[in-house]
Copies of this chain bind each other. A is one copy, B any other.
């Protein structure tokens, strides 16, 4: 006999298909004695349900929304593209992905966006946003109304999300730190640290990890206070230029968030490629070119395709009440040099 089906269960338990189905999907209206018989049959035959057939039968269509910050950063662009690409591939898998962009720190916009999604009765939400009470409360609401929720890229540990899809940013900062220390190669001096804003949770964590490694392993290096670029090219360039001017012993630059374009511009303009070790985050067409041109030495990154696929896998599992395979959903901290560019 092949794999057992609902028919086999029904026969074994001496009930009808409908009853088997009710038990399988935990729908009410089954006497506990009957349910017990069905469960026994399931255990005895080792039944596992064919999800595809189930979805086919119920005409199930999963609707997942991705809420992202508005912005022209290359990473966000790549993420949006990945969502679109995954969406195209998933249409046949009965999942429909939608992307909504909300301006950074626009609470009203965020509330409106999430309320709309809730009204639309989406099945799952993947959200990348700064941690605020508004977001926290809204997520609790969404969860209550039965929507699966995962946080993306930047976690909200205090919100009732089902799962976080992204890297451990403290570890990412540590990784950057070790590579910085090693690549600097025994010299002593200062490290310029650039972030877009010191308020974002992931930035804070990366800085934390970076500093810890500097302290523990490379006391000869001195990581300067974070410079804020605020996602603006000119501003980023300006703050770095100023910092370079006031320190004559800078040996490296760590760009912990968006702002890589500003950094590479400075490096190129001042011909510093061979003098400084430069480490950035997120592999994009731009940072990839930076690696090729030698303007960047290392890029620490997380694969946007994996992020999106993991998010949809997790959301789908939550919708189906299935367990996720933790090991498969762990997003890797990837290290990219010119030599191992994909």
Residues of B within 8 A of A182 (CB): 182-183, 185
**Interface locus among A11-19, A48-56, A108-116:** A48-56
Q: What residue of chain B has the Cβ atom nearest to residue A48's Cβ?
A: B92
Shortest C-beta distance, A68 to chain B (Å), equals: 21
Cβ–Cβ contact A337 & B339, under 8 A = no
What mask results when residues 271 to 304 of chain A are scored 1 for a CB within 8 Å of chain B, else 0?
A: 0000000000000000000000000000000010
Cβ–Cβ contact A335 & B342, under 8 A = no
CB-CB contacts below 8 Å: A291-342 with B: 303, 305, 325, 328, 330, 332-340, 342
A225 is an interface residue with CB less than 8 A from chain B: no
Residues of B within 8 A of A89 (CB): 325
A172 is an interface residue with CB less than 8 A from chain B: yes
Cβ–Cβ contact B337 & A334, under 8 A = no
Choice from B51, B92, B330, B342 contacting A50 with Cβ under 8 Å: B92
Residues of B within 8 A of A336 (CB): 335
Residues of B within 8 A of A339 (CB): 171, 174-175, 177-178, 209, 213
Choice from B56, B337, B342 contacting A53 with Cβ under 8 Å: B56
A29 is an interface residue with CB less than 8 A from chain B: no
A28 is an interface residue with CB less than 8 A from chain B: no
Choice from B91, B303, B335, B338 contacting A335 with Cβ under 8 Å: B335
CB-CB contacts below 8 Å: A199-255 with B: 209, 213
Choice from B56, B175, B213, B342 contacting A332 with Cβ under 8 Å: B342
Q: How many copies does the complex hold?
A: 2
Cβ–Cβ contact B175 & A337, under 8 A = yes
Cβ–Cβ contact A340 & B335, under 8 A = yes
Cβ–Cβ contact B342 & A330, under 8 A = yes
Known: A53-B56, A185-B182. A337 touches B340 (CB 8 A): no
CB-CB contacts below 8 Å: A44-89 with B: 48, 50-53, 55-56, 89
Choice from B92, B330, B340 contacting A171 with Cβ under 8 Å: B340
Shortest C-beta distance, A159 to chain B (Å), equals: 25
Most B C-beta atoms less than 10 A away, residue of A174, A213, A330:
A174
Residues of B within 8 A of A332 (CB): 303, 334, 340, 342
Shortest C-beta distance, A313 to chain B (Å), equals: 11
Residues of B within 8 A of A179 (CB): 337
Cβ–Cβ contact B48 & A52, under 8 A = no
What mask results when residues 162 to 174 of chain A are scored 1 for a CB within 8 Å of chain B, else 0?
A: 0000000001101
CB-CB contacts below 8 Å: A146-194 with B: 171-172, 174-175, 177-179, 182-183, 185-186
Expressed in whole angstroms, the Cα–Cα distance for A92 and B52 within the complex equals 9
Residues of B within 8 A of A55 (CB): 52
Shortest C-beta distance, A290 to chain B (Å), equals: 16
Cβ–Cβ contact B305 & A51, under 8 A = no
- A/B interface sample: 7 pairs, CB < 8 A: A89-B325, A175-B339, A185-B185, A332-B340, A333-B340, A335-B336, A335-B340
Taking A182-B183, A335-B337 as known contacts, 7 extra A-B pairs with beta carbons closer than 8 A to each other, sorted by chain A number, are A48-B91, A50-B92, A51-B92, A53-B56, A178-B339, A209-B339, A334-B340
